[in-house]
Chain A
Amino acid sequence: MTKSIYLDYNATVPILAEVKKSLLECMDLGPVNASSVHYYGRTGKSIIQLARLNIANLINTKSENIIFTSSATEAINLLFGSFKEIIVSSIEHLAVLNSSKSDLFIPVDPSGVIDLNYLEKLLKEVSKGNQEILVSVMMVNNETGVIQPIKQVVDLTRKYGGLIHCDAAQALGKIKIDFEELGLDFLTISGHKIGAPTGIGALIFNNNFNLSPQILGGGQENGIRAGTENILGIRGFGEAASIMSKMPENNFSKVNFFKNYLYNKIRELRPDTIFFGQEAEKVCNTLLMALPNTPGDLALMKLDLENFSVSSGSACSSGKISKSHVVSAMGHNHLASNSIRISLPPNDFILETEGLITIEELDRLAECWSNI
């Protein structure tokens, strides 16, 4: 069978060759349980420590601020367990929307940027109570790629005495994340978005806030997240973070070129295509688009059968595709079932080392799209 052209890097990035190498090395280190006191245990502890340093370095924080979890979703659930009053944006990932159980939503404008005035209104109302307020806004939206004004969110939230969480799963590897400079309280990230294996995420926190653990047991991760450490995942995450740190800043001109090429080609061949979030500041790799009368799941199936792997809306574990709450929140409810996301590698480094995208394939993709 022909291998499918992968254009779903926002879903996951393939394990980078160098990460794979380091994982294989790690497998040869022997029976490593980082909680053990002996030689092998110490080996495990040093692997974890190095990974913490590498990740801390990538996002500019202290290594002791990092709690490893199985995923960004788990990190978010762990954090939200300690809050009752959570304000979220209406375009957050389901990990945030479903675990916050919040009904305090910050709306977005038609281009997909959150409404800061409305956030202030919400903060005013909610800060009258005595509860500790958490505001949760993502750094980059996973569907549109639109970058959110996190610095302003921090400033506003501070003004009303709230705490701030930023889901940066989609920002990692795409734009600079500076935990200290942004003045965040909490940040969550995921390893597989930058070429580490799936199954490893992290919660970063920077205050004296007492997190209540969700998983109790042997006291790993400072007692905040028990369970034998996922050495391979942590090692892979650390290695990928180290690779990302070595990249020059704004390392995405090639990604940008490919994305613009595809965008223009599609506009030329299928002028009725609607693109979302184009008016806002965006990461370079993401295109969210729709055809007025074609359900997204049909477009996805047709592209898949033509060997292009893209995504549509949000798919649950059943495989059924539901309409995009992000497109709805942007006020395009009639197109919420039609959207298709194409996501290129997050940066030039991954494009060059792992991405096998060529102009010919993008031409063929645009051609297929125009025939849907």
Chain B
Amino acid sequence: MINCSQLIEDMDLEGNPSDHRIVVAMSGGVDSSVTAALLVKAGFNVVGLTMQLYDHGKALQKKGACCAGSDINDARSVANKLGIAHYVLNYENLFQDQVMEDFADSYLKGETPIPCIRCNQTVKFTDMFDRAKKLGASAMATGHYIRRKRKFGKPALYKGIDNFKDQSYFLFATTNEQLEFLRFPLGSLTKDETRNIAKLYELNVAEKPDSQDICFVPEGKYADVVRKLRPGSIDKGDIVDIKGNILGQHNGIIDYTIGQRKGIGIGGRKGVEDKDTILYVIELDPYKNQVIVGPKEYLKCKEIVINECNWITENPQKMKSKVWVKLRNSSDPVSGKINVDLETGSSALLFDEPQYGVSTGQAAVVYNPEDTEHVLGGGWITKAPNMLS
């Protein structure tokens, strides 16, 4: 189950493991704990770093609660068990500025953001990354289910072996430079194997449930968080059909996402011609403060524009002909054509088959058509015109 020599080889570092300090980003979960444990057992000089991103007491609105969640304590006790140095990085202000503000603004614009990718982009793989380098580390390892392999002498990114856990979608923004320094020891393991290793090493997080939600959003109630971050800027408005007829009221467009079907809140729709047509959220209009609903076919989207693109491949313009694109973490990749403009960092993606419910603010992650495990990069969806647009 644990193959130290394979791990050491995958670490892609010259000399003996003991020559190398490896910084492990330890969240306190089972994945990063096992990452640290594997590297310790393989003989590396491991240092654990945990990011303090927000005040947990405040986030849960619990009076007198400590700013740190139990995760920091879990990370610390694992580090202690492994006999490694462990530090907490105070990134509360940084996280607020770089991730939470963007998260709120994005919802107000009618988008559906992915703060976890923003966090990787702006905090974890920039500031923590920088700290790891300054601490003299040879590499920084995380517990992501993704593989890093050398391809033509350059590090390349591949999906994790465990299809259910693959996190390549969240790491499309990893730059070539970052990838030189990053390592993902769990990419070749399944989640079950990770848990078994945690049990074998008697880590007290072995049975800890996987985190499901965005870390700073308690119980998945993201709209509550946006309301707290942007008090006074969320107004009631109309829910309208595609012709502009008012069907009901909403308490803020932030409560809706494109493609949403359940819980739109318009009940029995009197006066609507075809009562049996199921309505979906087709568009969120931040200017008119409207939620526009309609039948599914209006969600059809044939092409999108992505921005802030990141390419982890030699010549991204060569991809033209055909690529596979993932539009959500939970859905399968779809085929299409891409036109990369390296100068503007913007690319156009044309789908072979129209897609439904594509939302701006999400990421489009591109995979190699010849090897669908191979992540080529991607970008943020800024335009996703559907039949209404």
Contacts and interface: CB of A to CB of B under 8 A. Distances in A.
Interface string B59-72: 00000001110001
B72 A301 contact: no
Given A304-B85, A305-B47, A322 B90 contact: yes
A294 to B, nearest CB: 9
Contact of B67 (A1, A305, A316): A316
B158 to A, nearest CB: 32
A320 B68 contact: yes
B360 interface: no
A318 B88 contact: yes
Residue among A301, A319, A321 having the largest count of chain B Cβ atoms under 10 Å: A319
Nearest to B73: A318
Interface string B280-320: 00000000000000000000000000000000000000000
Contact of A319 (B47, B76, B135): B76
A302 B90 CA distance: 16
B251 to A, nearest CB: 35
B270 interface: no
B259 to A, nearest CB: 39
B90 A320 contact: yes
6 contacts: A301-B47, A301-B85, A318-B72, A319-B76, A320-B92, A321-B88
B52 interface: yes
Given A301-B131, A319-B88, A320-B88, 10 more contacts: A298-B135, A304-B87, A305-B21, A305-B47, A305-B135, A318-B67, A318-B72, A318-B88, A319-B52, A319-B72
A297 B72 CA distance: 17
A207 interface: no
Interface residues of A, number: 14
A5 B68 CA distance: 29
A298 B131 CA distance: 7
A327 to B, nearest CB: 16
Interface string A293-318: 00001100110110000000000111
A319 B134 contact: no
Interface string A227-254: 0000000000000000000000000000
A149 to B, nearest CB: 34
Contacts of A301: 47, 85, 87, 131, 135
B278 interface: no
Interface in B26-57: 47, 50, 52
A305 to B, nearest CB: 6
B345 interface: no
Nearest to B50: A319
Interface residues of B, number: 21
Residue of B21, B90, B92 most packed against chain A (CB within 10 A): B90
Contacts of A302: 134-136
A78 B322 CA distance: 73
Contacts of B68: 316-320
Contacts of B87: 297, 301, 304, 319
Contacts of B4: none
Query: Which 4 A-B pairs give the minimum distances between C-beta atoms?
Result: A318-B68, A319-B88, A320-B90, A320-B52
Nearest to B56: A318
A301 B130 CA distance: 14
Interface in A162-200: none
Nearest to B130: A298
B89 interface: yes
A317 B47 CA distance: 19
Between A1, A301, A302, A322, the greatest number of chain B beta carbons within 10 A of the residue's beta carbon is seen for: A301
Contact of A317 (B21, B66, B83, B136): B66
Interface string A84-97: 00000000000000
A1 B83 contact: yes
Contacts of B90: 297, 320-322
**Chain A contact residues: helix, strand, loop or mixed:** mixed
Interface in B74-115: 76, 83, 85-90, 92
Contacts of B67: 316, 318, 320
Interface in B345-368: none
Contacts of A320: 52, 67-68, 88-90, 92
A297 B89 contact: yes
A81 B67 CA distance: 25
Contacts of A316: 66-68
Nearest to B45: A305
Contacts of A318: 52, 66-68, 72, 88
Contacts of B21: 305
Contacts of B86: 319
B49 to A, nearest CB: 9
A237 B106 CA distance: 58
Contacts of A305: 21, 47, 85, 135-136
Contacts of B134: 298, 302
A180 to B, nearest CB: 39
A297 B91 CA distance: 12
Interface in B111-139: 131, 134-136
Nearest to A304: B85
A91 B110 CA distance: 47
Contacts of B52: 318-320
Interface string B242-281: 0000000000000000000000000000000000000000
A297, A298, A301, A318: residue with the most chain B Cβ atoms closer than 10 Å: A318
A318 B69 CA distance: 8
A304 B72 CA distance: 19
A174 B155 CA distance: 57
B26 to A, nearest CB: 12
Nearest to A1: B83
A231 to B, nearest CB: 30
B90 to A, nearest CB: 4
A344 to B, nearest CB: 23
B183 to A, nearest CB: 19
Nearest to A315: B88
A150 to B, nearest CB: 33
A318 B66 CA distance: 8
A316 B21 CA distance: 27
Nearest to A302: B135
Nearest to A318: B68
Contacts of A298: 131, 134-135
Contacts of B50: 319
A301 B52 CA distance: 16
A304 B47 CA distance: 11
A301 B84 CA distance: 13
